[in-house]
Amino acid sequence: MKPTYEVDAVQAFPKDAKGYHMLSNGKRIKIGTNVRFGKNVSLGGGCVIGNNTEIRENTTIQEFSWVGNNCIIGSECVIGADTTICEYCHLGNDVTVGDHAFIEHSLTIGDGRRINHFERVDW
């Protein structure tokens, strides 16, 4: 697993002109407006978190993943690297999403669900 950064530490880094937090290792993380984080949330370098999104406690989002606007990510979730979660999605608690997965707009993923690497979810 690649290194991740606690949200409080990320938000302490200054933003560049495009709104990205510039980390000390040269990676960037973008956090939209009105984003709410629970305790112990970690983000990988290169992540983008959309506006009006909630990420609950003890969740890890690995590097280069994108979470759209108006999403809810439950507690105890692990989102793999280079994964896309489109707008208006709701992931329950203890959901694991593999690397390079793609979750279509407006979907709800129930508690405990496992999404495989490279899987596209569009039910």
Number of domains in the chain: 1
What was the pLDDT predicted at 20? 86
What was the pLDDT predicted at 1? 56
What was the pLDDT predicted at 4? 76
* Residue 40, domain extent: 4-121
What was the pLDDT predicted at 21? 84
What was the pLDDT predicted at 30? 93
For 25-53, how does the pLDDT look when each residue is reduced to its tens digit (9 = 90+)?
Answer: 778 899 999 999 999 999 999 999 999 99
* Residue 31 host element (H or E): strand 28-31
Position 84 pLDDT exceeds 70: yes
Position 2 pLDDT exceeds 70: no
CATH number of domain containing 39: 2.160.10.10
- Contact between 23 and 4 under an 8 Å Cβ cutoff? The reply is no
Position 11 pLDDT exceeds 90: no
Report yes or no on whether pTM surpasses 0.85: yes
* Residue 7 host element (H or E): helix 7-12
